[in-house]
A and B are shown apart, each in its own frame.
Chain A
Amino acid sequence: MPSAADPSRLDRFTVPDASGHFGRYGGVYVPETLMTALEEIARVYEEAKKDPAFQNELRRHLKEFAGRPTELYFAERLTKHIGGAKIYFKREDLLHTGAHKINNALGQALLAKRMGKPRVIAETGAGQHGVATAAVCAKFGLQCVVYMGAVDMERQALNVFRMRLMGAEVRGVEAGQRTLKEAINEAMRDWVTNVRNTHYILGSALGAHPYPMMVRDFHRVIGQETKEQILAKEGRLPDELVACVGGGSNAIGFFFDFLEDTQVRLTGVEAGGRGIRRGDHAARFEGGKLGVLQGAKTYILQNEDGQIELTHSVSAGLDYAAIGPEHAFYRDRNRIQFAYACDDEVLDVFQLVSRTEGIIPALESTHALVHAIKRAAEMRPDQILIVNVSGRGDKDVQQVQKMLEK
């Protein structure tokens, strides 16, 4: 329920508060065993944030290993095809390992080293965060275990092999619906057990404090670059930014440096799956309600009793029952708008963008493109819309091929 708060008075640096709350969202809802580890991460992260040596090292790895900065690309043929606003792509798909996830994986791997933790665990849905974590662990010589739902292992088999090639152990999770949520549960169980020598590189803007804040900060570079690039190319700010939202890490990193530019509309796109019916989608703002899952208070798809609902999306990376708490906070304040895209629209736009631009976007990012195309068509040609193409679709081509053959 949006409040009457004045968005022009947003101060993005007031959240989260010292206890990890974004207004009524966020917090630290974990078993006692993990409290000390979370406090340590928060403390070490705050030190690292202010340490120029840490920041310089991170910047260097982002450039040399990950390939930053990424381009801001004018999608000229797609823009002509739609006939509305100018559409730009922020090319996070060009990063090493294929998606924005590497920004956060690098940052947290450096933190693991700083804390002297030799072992790293991670969860992964689409496999992109798992691949990014496997890569940084190989690079820094850290032991790496990645938890992945058995269903996701099947639909993202290529990424499983990539992780293993880079020396990670991939553990399949057979519980529940065998996707991202169960992978996080299993990673948390591992962490509770091995907390003394293990750092958990959580891959989205989810979980207990300080994860949502820390993951956001490591992805802020996306929005910072975008702002500089659009000012250089167009001499003005864009009219709208669009990003897909699973947990919401690419979106919050993309949006963050525009939060106070209230003339820029910010839109997150959730997974509408087969349509907004119980169990058929993963659009938390369409039928979800306030609850607590895996560390944070936020919007969650759940039944009357608080049992977590099954979710569905064509894209493994958006197939999750909860949304990052900061998104819920800015939605209440009317600063981030939300929409959803359904599987069939995603399949169409996946092909359209491949054909018109020679760029195969990840199925996750394609959700943002579906909405961006609808919006651009309603906008004037002198207006500017930027889509965060958070990842590349190489991992998805086999799955899409199968679906198109049906």
Chain B
Amino acid sequence: MDRIQEAFSRAHSENRACFVAYVCAGDPDFETSVSVCRALAESGVDVLELGVPFSDPLADGLTNQLAAQRALESGMTAARVFELVRRIRQFSQVPIVFYTYYNLVFANGVEAYVKQAKEAGVDGMLTLDLPPEEAGDVAAACGKHGVKTVFIVAPTTPDSRLPKIAGQATGFIYYVSREGVTGVRDQVAGNIPEAMARIKKATTLPVVVGFGISTRAHVAQVAAQADGVVVGSALVNCIRENLADRSRIPAAIAAKCGELVAGTRR
């Protein structure tokens, strides 16, 4: 069993939803980012979704755009992102999923990129601007090197597209609970149970729900409805709010994470 599968079965056996935490690799700088990932791993995160900073993150809201900008300005490169994964692997076996944009995967050859990711310790890849229609090269490379693929289902996705999406995914399905970009919202979308029922007809893979989930109450609500809950911007905000004293960031993020993880119990 791979690390992603293990994380979902462990959470399931403990009668809770998987907690998926997003942060941007290298935000606000490499060493702080290592500490952030350690804090997350030690605070009960089941899957770590690591954003690979891109100059043009068109699916992201302002919070994550600024995170990517901080990371790039601090000197993050493709090589440094892989280095960060290797550092995390020195202290944690938490499954790591890259949350990325296709040009970064494509730039120096898809297969070479996936191979390097695997060797660094990456378990899965979610490529935001890569619908299943264009995903042949990534799926093949991931299959060859044992990296799981994650694909998105949106509220606008009709039933007719679900088999195509499910057919390309090998890790889990990420249900984007509302139209829009990433970011904190006041309320969780109301359509989740219907969406889960639709998606589960097309796949046996776990389904996580993300976009706009930021409080323990949100997490608890979604945990009752899905296999996993993704929180991103609310954690990234802990970084942004402590930029004046970066040494405080890991503790701030651990506190927020602990509070959210508690919401995953069913």
A-to-B contact residues, CB < 8 Å: 19, 27-37, 175-176, 181-182, 184-185, 188-189, 192-196, 290-295, 297, 300, 302, 304-308
Sorted nearest first, the 10 A-B pairs with minimum C-beta distance are A306-B107, A193-B180, A33-B154, A32-B152, A306-B103, A305-B78, A307-B55, A306-B104, A185-B58, A188-B58
| Contact A29/B59 with A192-B180, A307-B72 known, Cβ cut-off 8 Å | no
Distance of A23 from chain B, by nearest CB (Å): 15
Distance of B179 from chain A, by nearest CB (Å): 6
Q: In the assembled complex, which residues on chain A have CB atoms less than 8 Å from the CB atom of B259?
A: none
Q: In the assembled complex, which residues on chain B have CB atoms less than 8 Å from the CB atom of A295?
A: 129
| Contact A33/B56 with A305-B78, A305-B104 known, Cβ cut-off 8 Å | no
Residue of B nearest to A36 (CB): B156
| Contact A193/B58 with A32-B152, A35-B131, A292-B129 known, Cβ cut-off 8 Å | no
Are B56 and A302 interface neighbours, CB within 8 A?
Answer: no
Are A305 and B107 interface neighbours, CB within 8 A?
Answer: yes
Tell me if B30 is interfacial: C-beta within 8 Å of chain A: no
Give A185 to B131 CA distance when docked, in angstroms. Answer: 18
Are A31 and B56 interface neighbours, CB within 8 A?
Answer: no
Across the A-B interface, how many residue pairs have beta carbons closer than 8 Å?
117
Q: List 23 A-B contacts (CB under 8 A).
A: A28-B133, A29-B134, A31-B59, A32-B152, A32-B156, A32-B176, A33-B155, A33-B180, A35-B133, A35-B157, A36-B156, A36-B158, A37-B156, A176-B55, A196-B179, A291-B106, A292-B102, A292-B129, A297-B106, A300-B103, A306-B103, A306-B105, A307-B54
Are A30 and B107 interface neighbours, CB within 8 A?
Answer: no
Give A36 to B161 CA distance when docked, in angstroms. Answer: 9
Are A189 and B157 interface neighbours, CB within 8 A?
Answer: no
Tell me if B125 is interfacial: C-beta within 8 Å of chain A: no
Distance of B83 from chain A, by nearest CB (Å): 13
Distance of B131 from chain A, by nearest CB (Å): 5
Are A192 and B179 interface neighbours, CB within 8 A?
Answer: yes
Are A33 and B176 interface neighbours, CB within 8 A?
Answer: yes
Apart from A34-B156, A189-B59, A308-B56, what are 12 other A-B pairs with CB-CB below 8 Å? A32-B131, A33-B156, A36-B161, A37-B156, A188-B58, A189-B58, A189-B61, A192-B181, A196-B156, A305-B108, A308-B55, A308-B103
Residue of B nearest to A194 (CB): B179
| Contact A193/B179 with A28-B133, A30-B129, A31-B154 known, Cβ cut-off 8 Å | yes
Interface of B is mostly: loop
Are B58 and A304 interface neighbours, CB within 8 A?
Answer: no
Number of chain B residues close to chain A: CB under 8 A = 39
Q: In the assembled complex, which residues on chain B have CB atoms less than 8 Å from the CB atom of A302?
A: 103, 107
Q: Which of A35, A181, A305 is in CB contact (< 8 Å) with B56?
A: A181
Q: In the assembled complex, which residues on chain B have CB atoms less than 8 Å from the CB atom of A291?
A: 103, 106-107
Residue of B nearest to A306 (CB): B107
Tell me if B77 is interfacial: C-beta within 8 Å of chain A: yes
In the complex, per-residue mask of B97-117: 1 if CB is within 8 Å of any chain A CB, else 0: 000001111111000000000
Distance of B142 from chain A, by nearest CB (Å): 17
Residue of A nearest to B102 (CB): A292
Are B56 and A195 interface neighbours, CB within 8 A?
Answer: no
Tell me if B165 is interfacial: C-beta within 8 Å of chain A: yes
Q: In the assembled complex, which residues on chain A have CB atoms less than 8 Å from the CB atom of B161?
A: 35-36
Are B56 and A293 interface neighbours, CB within 8 A?
Answer: yes
Give A387 to B217 CA distance when docked, in angstroms. Answer: 63
Are A195 and B156 interface neighbours, CB within 8 A?
Answer: yes
Distance of B231 from chain A, by nearest CB (Å): 19
Give A293 to B58 CA distance when docked, in angstroms. Answer: 10
Give A29 to B138 CA distance when docked, in angstroms. Answer: 13
Distance of A78 from chain B, by nearest CB (Å): 40
Tell me if B7 is interfacial: C-beta within 8 Å of chain A: no
Distance of A189 from chain B, by nearest CB (Å): 5
Tell me if B236 is interfacial: C-beta within 8 Å of chain A: no
